[in-house]
Chain A
Amino acid sequence: MKPAAFEYLAPRSVEEAVALLAERGEDAKVIAGGQSLVPMMAFRLATPAALVDLNGVSELDHARVDRDTLVLGATARHRSVQELAGLRERCAMVAEAVGLIGHPPIRNRGTAGGSIAHADPAAEWPALLLALDGEVDAMGPGGRRTIAAADLFRTYFTTALAPDEILTEVRLPLPAGAVGSAFVEVAQRHGDFAVAGAGALMIVADDGSVADARLVLIGVRDTAVRSVAAETILRGASPTDPVLDDATNAIRSEIDPVSDVHGSSAYRRRVAIAVARRAVTLARDRAHAAVA
């Protein structure tokens, strides 16, 4: 479990990082927190010829809430997000999801940008990006471009980012008003990748009906997935228990979990529905509390 030899490159600016990446070609990898890449290198499942380390690029190291948007530079740690004052009150779903990422050493080192670029279908950050209709900036030899969450995730560990592009910033709009949200996971052990997880957000109108609803699921198919079916049922409806049941049952057609050593597809389906129901219920109750 020792990595193969590689060249280590430590740029000081995004431009320099992009240039190094372009120069080294597809054998080079970008590293930020290294929480997925380094174990893969230790197993020699990944053998990059060069690592471009973003940790010395100070312009990427920021985490803040700009008015209604959570803005994270590529090297912002999960821990830095947890430490943002008032985030739990502002958007419980984000705070809860980040708290479910691994263990403290992983959160101290791992980054939101890395998690999104890695695109593990069981990871939390891609789900948050989708649920909040976020976007990312990517910098490549051709300059900067912005990619919307809906256009980013392709399949397992695959995004719309080109091999010579670096994800530089993540932006998550935080809804305001009578909003409630939650993120719920089931894992066999505390801190493990979820068997299935769900993030839900609900905004309640003055008449008590659902003004907006988001439901995102992880661990249930090749990417994190927004449940269009559930959201359609919820929007405009009165969020009673039977409506929540209908909505969460509607995810069945949108998920396609695989069987593995931790559980069969049938088991994951059941858990996905359970966590979806719990997340939606929490989001509703919190939205009601926000009204009151």
Chain B
Amino acid sequence: MTTRLFGERVARSEDRRLLTGRGRYTGDFEPAAAHAAFVRSDFAHARITGIDVAAAQAVPGVLDVFTYADLADGFADRLPLLVPSDKLIAPRTQHALAKDEACYAGEVLAMVVARDRYVAEDALERIVVEYEPLPAAVDLDRAAGPNAPLAHLDMTDNLAGLVTEETGDVDAAFAAAPHVYDWTLRMERSASMPIETRGVVARYDEREDRLLVHDATQAPTGVRFGLAMLFGMDPDRVHVVAPDVGGGFGVKVIQFYPEEVLVPWAARRLGVPVKWIEDRREHFLGSNHERGQIHHVHVGAADDGRILALEDRFLHDTGAYCSYGLILPIITAAQLPGPYDLENYRYELRSIFTNTVPTSPFRGAGRPHAAYVMERVIERVSKELNLDSLDVRRRNFVKEFPHHVGVTFQDGGPTVYDSGDYPKGLATLLEQLDLERTRTEIATARAEGRTVGLGFGAYVEGTGIGPYEGASVSINPDGTVSVATAHGSQGQAHETVFAQVVADELQVPFERVHVTTGDTRRLGFGVGTFASRTAVVAGNAVLLATTEVKRQAAAVAARILEVAPEDVVFADGAIHVAGAPDRSIPLGRLAMASNPTRYAFGADAEEGAKLSQLAYEGGDRPLPEGSHPGLAATEYYSPTSGVFGFGFHAALVEIDLETGHVDILRYVVHHDSGRIINPMVVEGQIHGGVAQGIGGALYERIAYGEEGQMLNATFMDFLMVTAAEMPRIEEVHTETPSPNNPLGIKGVGEAGTIPVSATIANAISDALNTPVDHMPVTPEEVLTLAGKIESP
């Protein structure tokens, strides 16, 4: 019997472990380790003229205290630039410990290693740092302007990088456009805020010259190769494990945060295991943020709402350093056109240093900004021309695929949409919404004096970028199948969906497929879990490896069963001859047979050994040329380009004009990420994404004071959405397969987040009949927009 799990709502295999407290997180390893704690800069910008650690050294229980002066060789260099670009004017990254200048409040200046974290923090209080405070660049607009305070002492302005690109003839199109508009849109700074903070635990075994690091990272392979180079060690002697990781959303893939270098360094130097578990305050002050951008758009439109020309000049807040190069604003620029065919599009992005926590991708990664700008443009154009914005969207849709956007994608290649069906997607959303009925309800509510509004948002999401991902698949003698990928999971259900792919291909029961992720001891090569790429890139690598194992199994079975490999069938955990199900060999036994040596216990072992003799009978050697023992393969998948999911959101909101509270009465999601491996997992991704999107639309904002001090670095003041703030999400799907990969899938990890700010802004704008061009919209801002209070 052939079963098919691809597309089924298979319950997540990881949930039992995670929900019953059996997960193992970084903090669970090395319970006897010494603990590290860090002195962090009090000032947003200051010269460090001295650090006195003597009193801290004297605290009982302190093993050692380190400053920049203790670092040598590669450890004294600036941390690596993760994504270089020739458009980077000033590729600044920080030192593991600040050398003589601190460029954000929270930058690490000194490290204490002590018996436990309590003692380490006692010692921190005794370290005296001499600062010479400097003017700080904080506000993005101001930092980008003339005579701004300088974020770095050795620079003459704050420009980190500049990119301009144009497709079509924008100037000519503006000259011919009957309607031309200028608008400014702003998104404020936010942050990923995973429930598990970052953490690193390192043990160096001197006798074996072996370094073992547990790191709550999204990319253990890069950490491993980087540490091997820094320490001058053979990579085979460096192991990095990302065990269970409690959320990432982008913030855990920097390679390298200072602590990821310093903790292993201290473990080797001191000869004891060292652990550092970031606390929430450190996470606010020392882990990357995202989102801050200011867009100035110049729009040329036809009478019917078609966008004839679009120019976007925007500022991106890269914070104090730019380890991610220009990747974030480039994603914004590349995906700004969204589902619309912009023949004439030009952008100029300027990435600006400020004396704030550095920024790097957070779920959505530049795309929420893109969708926000484009969808507000569509709404404003529609409003100006008195057109239905849904009609305007339809008129501007890309209709033919592949579609060349005309600007560069984040991977450096052209931005090409592989497939999509935008009219169908929008129609699916409107059907679920019941547009006519909803409009009638809105009219009724307004007649009753209620303030309600309906908003839409659309997006595309470039997913599944390279360079590659790998997978190892092997069939074990007991008939189970082991699968390993090098990049870890932060809760995305890799164990489940990879097992679905393997179980389908080999026709083994789902429960017999065991997936390991994030352990470089199992597979050394890989890239990481980010950019909505795992299902696409690793998923297809799993498929390729499984296909190869299947080929091996068929070859061995064919020899034993004395048929051609094409004539065997995989079913029920066994292989049988086509048309003769009784001529069958269980896969476990076949695994034994494929390894011509004697090792196994149990009744099956004898049978396996006999089969082994049979399998290799008549050959000139025990293992035929070109084969290898066992049924195992490691394969890599490298995509030719990204694959583009898309979707549409609708929000019906009601506003309380006394308090400014925005109540989301309905939230409807259409989503298309190609073929779906597991609908339940996809829905979970969308729900979580929408939650973070609502956070960005209405609640979450990292607030800095004028001097560069963070004003809300606690969960009491930084308002993450909770279950109580979430509306019920109505979710509908279409499946437009990608032609670019064997599984026909596209990534989904960030999709839910991308259009939420745009959708809610459009809904509030509709309710108040006034433009909403700033995100997040706080209750106070709602009241200000509604003219109920003076702007502060």
Taking Cβ atoms with an 8 Å cutoff, the residues of A that contact B are 1-5, 43-44, 186, 188-193, 195, 259, 261-264, 266-267, 270-271, 274-275
A192 to chain B, nearest CB (A): 7
Of B136-144, B422-430, B530-538, B716-724, the stretch lying at the interface with chain A is B716-724
User: Cα distance A173–B660 when bound, in Å?
Assistant: 35
Given the complex, which residues of B lie within 8 Å of A267, measured CB to CB? Answer: 660, 779-780, 783, 789, 792
**Beta-carbon contact of B778 and A270 below 8 Å:** no
User: Cα distance A3–B117 when bound, in Å?
Assistant: 10
B707 to chain A, nearest CB (A): 15
Of B9-17, B118-126, B512-520, the stretch lying at the interface with chain A is B118-126
User: Cα distance A4–B659 when bound, in Å?
Assistant: 41
Known: A270-B658, A271-B660. 5 other contacts (CB 8 A): A1-B279, A188-B699, A188-B779, A267-B660, A267-B789
User: Cα distance A259–B711 when bound, in Å?
Assistant: 13
A7 to chain B, nearest CB (A): 15
Given the complex, which residues of B lie within 8 Å of A191, measured CB to CB? Answer: 722, 724
A68 to chain B, nearest CB (A): 35
**Beta-carbon contact of B719 and A188 below 8 Å:** yes
User: Cα distance A118–B293 when bound, in Å?
Assistant: 41
Given the complex, which residues of B lie within 8 Å of A186, measured CB to CB? Answer: 659, 661, 779
User: Cα distance A86–B659 when bound, in Å?
Assistant: 32
**Beta-carbon contact of B279 and A266 below 8 Å:** no
Interface flag for B703 (CB, 8 Å): yes
B287 to chain A, nearest CB (A): 15
**Beta-carbon contact of A189 and B722 below 8 Å:** yes
Listed A/B pairs (29) with beta-carbon separation below 8 Å = A1-B279, A2-B118, A4-B125, A186-B661, A188-B699, A188-B778, A188-B779, A189-B719, A189-B721, A189-B722, A190-B722, A190-B725, A192-B719, A195-B779, A259-B792, A261-B703, A261-B711, A262-B717, A263-B780, A264-B792, A266-B790, A267-B660, A267-B779, A267-B780, A267-B783, A270-B788, A270-B789, A274-B658, A275-B659
User: Cα distance A193–B712 when bound, in Å?
Assistant: 14
**Beta-carbon contact of A1 and B281 below 8 Å:** yes
List B residues 774-792 near A (Cβ within 8 Å): 778-780, 783, 788-790, 792
B427 to chain A, nearest CB (A): 35
Given the complex, which residues of B lie within 8 Å of A262, measured CB to CB? Answer: 717
A147 to chain B, nearest CB (A): 29
Interface flag for B280 (CB, 8 Å): yes
Given the complex, which residues of B lie within 8 Å of A193, measured CB to CB? Answer: 716
Taking Cβ atoms with an 8 Å cutoff, the residues of B that contact A are 117-118, 121-122, 125, 279-281, 658-661, 699, 703, 711-712, 716-717, 719, 721-722, 724-725, 778-780, 783, 788-790, 792
B708 to chain A, nearest CB (A): 15
A136 to chain B, nearest CB (A): 26
Q: Which of A186, A188, A259 has the most CB of B within 10 A?
A: A188
User: Cα distance A195–B778 when bound, in Å?
Assistant: 12
User: Cα distance A274–B790 when bound, in Å?
Assistant: 17
User: Cα distance A4–B712 when bound, in Å?
Assistant: 23
Closest A-chain residue to B710, C-beta based? A261
Given the complex, which residues of A lie within 8 Å of B780, measured CB to CB? Answer: 263-264, 267
Q: Which of B118, B660, B717 has the most CB of A within 10 A?
A: B660
User: Cα distance A195–B788 when bound, in Å?
Assistant: 17
User: Cα distance A266–B779 when bound, in Å?
Assistant: 12
User: Cα distance A1–B714 when bound, in Å?
Assistant: 11
User: Cα distance A126–B53 when bound, in Å?
Assistant: 45
B479 to chain A, nearest CB (A): 46
User: Cα distance A271–B788 when bound, in Å?
Assistant: 11
User: Cα distance A189–B117 when bound, in Å?
Assistant: 33
Given the complex, which residues of A lie within 8 Å of B699, measured CB to CB? Answer: 188-189
A239 to chain B, nearest CB (A): 20
Given the complex, which residues of A lie within 8 Å of B280, measured CB to CB? Answer: 1
User: Cα distance A264–B280 when bound, in Å?
Assistant: 27
A17 to chain B, nearest CB (A): 26
B789 to chain A, nearest CB (A): 5
B713 to chain A, nearest CB (A): 10
Given the complex, which residues of A lie within 8 Å of B725, measured CB to CB? Answer: 189-190
A261 to chain B, nearest CB (A): 5
B756 to chain A, nearest CB (A): 17
User: Cα distance A266–B784 when bound, in Å?
Assistant: 10
A269 to chain B, nearest CB (A): 8
Given the complex, which residues of A lie within 8 Å of B125, measured CB to CB? Answer: 4, 44
Given the complex, which residues of A lie within 8 Å of B279, measured CB to CB? Answer: 1
User: Cα distance A190–B789 when bound, in Å?
Assistant: 24
User: Cα distance A263–B722 when bound, in Å?
Assistant: 20
B5 to chain A, nearest CB (A): 39
Given the known inter-chain contacts A263-B780, A267-B660, please indicate yes or no for A4 contacting B122, CB distance below 8 A.
yes
User: Cα distance A1–B286 when bound, in Å?
Assistant: 14
Closest A-chain residue to B120, C-beta based? A2
User: Lowest 10 CB-CB distances: which A-B pairs, in order?
Assistant: A190-B724, A274-B658, A264-B792, A267-B780, A1-B279, A2-B118, A263-B780, A2-B121, A186-B659, A261-B711
A198 to chain B, nearest CB (A): 12
Given the complex, which residues of A lie within 8 Å of B118, measured CB to CB? Answer: 2-3, 5
